[in-house]
Amino acid sequence: MKKFYAILIAAFAFVSLQTKAQIACDASFTAQFLSGSTVKFNPMPSTLDSVSVHHFWSFGEVGGGYFNYSYSVSPINTFPTGTFSVGHRIYRTNPNGGAVCTDSTNQIITITQGACLLSASYVRYIDPSNILQRYYYNQTNNLSATDSIRWTFGDGTSANSYNATHTFANPGVYNVCLRVIKRNANGTLSNCVSEICRLDTVAYQCNIQAYFTSSSDSATAPATIQFNNQTVNYSPTDSITWNFGDGSAVSHAVNPFHIYTTAGTYTVCMRVKRNTTVAGAPPCVSEYCRQITITGPPCNLVANFTWYRDSIITIPNSYRFTNTTIPLSSSDSIRWTFGDGTSSNQVNPTHVYTTPGIYTVCLRVQKRNPNGILSNCISEKCYQILVAAITSPCNIQAYFLSLADSTQPNIIHFTNQSPGYLPTDSVFWNFGDGSPILSGVNNPTHTYTVAGVYTVCIKIKRNTPAGTVPCIREYCKVVSITIPCNLVTNFTWYRDSLPTAAPNTYHFVNTSAPISSTDSIRWTFGDGTSSNQVNPTHVYAQAGTYTVCLRVQKRNANGNLTTCIKEKCYTIVVPQTCTLQSNFTSAATTANYKTIVFTNTTIVSGSGATALWSFGDGTSATTWNATHTYAQAGRYAVCLRTQIGTCISYKCDSITIIAPIPVPNCIELSKFSFATYGNGQAGFAVYNPQNNVQYTWTFGDGTGVQNGILVSHTYAAPGYYTACLTAFRDSSCASTSCRSIYIGPFCNNITLAINDVRDSLVPNRIKFTALSNTATTNQVWTITKIPTTATTGTVTINANNPTYMFLDSGYYNVCVKATFANGCVKTICKIIYVAQNMPVVNNCTLQIYPNPASSIINANITLVQPLLLNAYVYNSMNVLVAQKQQQGIVGNNTVSINIANLPAGIYILRLVYGNQLCYATFIKQ
């Protein structure tokens, strides 16, 4: 073994003399003693560039019996007692992967007796019933019961127990550290310290992705739109909220339909929320919005009118005109011409003719749009009327009675009581609420939907012979309408279980129906406080029994409070705050390593406390302290449940039962393991090293033998070899084991570099190419934002020479791990700078059809000048998977892309033309 290191050091020195004379390359380093036996090695600052400098460290033996190595920049190694020759070799490359220089050096490290052998370590388990709770199990080597232990959880809290149970208040990324310090024989802290820190990501997986499609029965208003939920990973238990963008009420249906009555462009949003029961889980919500356009309705205006001559003798030749245009609104423009040179803009005018004769009367109606501007929708109707002298009296007297329904006061029954009324007369009813004029019904019933005061009129018309004066009478009266109170007031509540919440915090949920934002709401919580919020949160200062009441009072359309009032009360019990904290210690007995004594260290006040032990092997106990014997060695999760009154507390920890290590038999003494390091180097280690055994190695290449527990060997050429170990203890025990070892190809002559080419249209779309003097069989690319944070992450692309679209500007570390046909694997990295995202000044969205699609997607683009259309399809990792280019023409252009060979999933189509970028998301089935 000493001979191997002498050769290795001499080779390092020879190479160093050569390279130093040509190019400045320095392998010098310093040794930093972290503890008595743990040392960190720091190279010169000029060699810290991990992109172009490669490191090899050997922590070899001088006294014999130890060998270890590392490829890290600044490695940390824990040594046994002894003297060791530490070698450092660097190899600098240029951007194309070629050699620039190499250098090597070594130092002697001495580890004295009684060195610090602490090695902090722990494992983590997640509570499946509470994603915020963690169990940390201490696995530190050489740790004694008196040593100092401190856990820090990265959220400002800490613990000093051997193992730790911790519940995080919120999801996030936390740096969890375990620090252990040895104590001297007198109990004072020593300088032997070991610490380990790991990032623990506390998160809740939210994998739903909201998406929907829509179809319409009409392109113009009124239009009925059917919405179809296409959410990825949707569950029937998820909550759905639809907002149709026109101010109407939201919908919670899975696949709703909605009627748009007015033309316009509406933003429709679907929000999907996962109703998880996992304690402490953050909300899992996904929302998707898209715009739909409803065009204006056709001009369906039909102007029309009726008329009759007033039968009152004192007003001769007075005619009443009734506008029956459909549809008619108050904003429409109305103009009457009566044929005698006069006109009117009233809805239903009255006109007096001065002389008998035949007159042409015309009604012209013009619609206004929602902005009050006159539209092109115009309709006109004309009739000729005969104005004649009065020849006969009119003896009709219009009159009616009204009666509210006994069960529903907003339903009114009307009875015609007109004196002189004949069955042949015509009857017209106007109920005063904007509903159509009712004719031909003598005794109608009408339902009012809104409370208020309405003027109801009955008009009787006698059907007289042509050329005679019409006989018409009208009677009006006021009807008062009240609406029944159908309000049902109710609510639910729950106590906040988060550790960060104040004790006895209660959330109240208003479930009253129907409820609107204008209603008057008042909560009283039974402790002298109140609230007017819809869903309040209240903190009780002390335990007790409280009567909570919710009072709701409806408002009418004018915002005035009505007499519709309902109230609901419940009694809730606020418990005492529980401060009990279970705790225990454990220790193995000297007589039997499988017998453990558990001591309950829980602090309780008063009497009546009970304990329940669960030993992790299916058994339990109810004594305050417990002693338990395990059937076999292993790791067990032990839990203690302590209860006093209604206050319950749990403490769980793990214990490890370690069986004594048996002495290996003679055959096992020669078993060994090996590892190859590239370029012909291999290391060998004995499985069960013993101090009283002599070990002899042969390597299958005829180079001789070596002795020792850990040895290394360099093979001259690739190939398969048989390595053997002979273990000799005494004349009665000698054994030999052999294993086949494969020495892979030497990779020193293979070069590797990265070439990046930016797209001329979109500079943040970059084509990466792996350049090498040998063909690659596989490439794995990684792209990491600099500086790296917990939110940026690393993108991994398993593809040869990929094209990638960067979504943010800045510096990126791009690496490729290339595999070659001879089995060699090399990795090289390059730092690039992305100046900006997209070079366009305008963005727009595309409408893709069909969507979802299985083979072909289509997108329509309208151009005002001929432009080149560049279409790109990206997968969910933002990697280009398909593209197409075609010449666009003036007018409508359809871009079709074949996606039949793409795997199922969600993709993005980006279409670039001129200075315009259009994009849309589609689903491949």
Q: What backbone phi and psi angles, to 5 degrees, belong to 667? A: -65, -35
Give bridge partners of residue 240 from the DSSP assignment: 272
The pLDDT of 95-101, averaged and rounded, is 60
> What is the reported pLDDT for 923?
87
> What is the reported pLDDT for 764?
80
**pLDDT tens sequence across 785-828:** 887 766 667 888 888 999 888 877 888 889 999 998 877 888 88
Give yes or no for a cis peptide into 470 (omega within 30° of 0).
Answer: no
Q: What backbone phi and psi angles, to 5 degrees, belong to 9? A: -65, -40
**pLDDT tens sequence across 615-650:** 989 899 999 999 999 998 888 989 898 988 767 787
> What is the reported pLDDT for 204?
63
Rounded CA separation 555/560 (Å)? 5
Q: Is 870 helix (H, G, I), strand (E, B) or coil?
A: strand
Give bridge partners of residue 886 from the DSSP assignment: 869
- Least confident window among 52-66, 529-543, 697-711: 52-66
pLDDT of residue 434 exceeding 70, the answer is yes
Q: Which two tokens stand for residue 815?
A: 């690496």
Residue 198 C-alpha from the chain's centroid: 24
The pLDDT of 164-190, averaged and rounded, is 84
Mean pLDDT, the chain, rounded, equals 82
Buried b (16+ CB within 10 A) or exposed e, 561-599: ebebebebeeebebeeeeebebebeeeeeeeeebebebe
**pLDDT tens sequence across 352-364:** 888 888 899 999 9
Rounded CA separation 64/641 (Å)? 53
Q: Which two tokens stand for residue 446?
A: 């009408």
Q: Which two tokens stand for residue 603?
A: 């602090």
- Least confident window among 78-92, 529-543, 572-586, 819-833: 78-92
User: CB within 8 A of 619, min separation 6: which ones?
Assistant: 628
pLDDT of residue 216 exceeding 60, the answer is yes
Cα–Cα nearest to 412, from 448, 382, 451: 448
In total, the chain counts a number of residues equal to: 925
In the chain, the amino acid numbered 833 is Y
Rounded CA separation 511/488 (Å)? 9
Is pTM, for the whole model, over 0.85? no
Cα–Cα nearest to 402, from 387, 419, 417, 385: 417
- 156-163 CB contacts, 8 Å cutoff, 24+ apart: 161/583, 161/653, 162/138, 162/653, 163/135, 163/136, 163/137, 163/138, 163/653, 163/654
In the chain, the amino acid numbered 243 is N
**pLDDT tens sequence across 227-243:** 888 888 787 778 899 99
**pLDDT tens sequence across 386-410:** 876 655 567 788 889 999 888 888 8
> What is the reported pLDDT for 414?
94
**pLDDT tens sequence across 526-567:** 999 999 999 999 999 888 889 999 999 988 777 788 878 889
pLDDT of residue 832 exceeding 80, the answer is yes
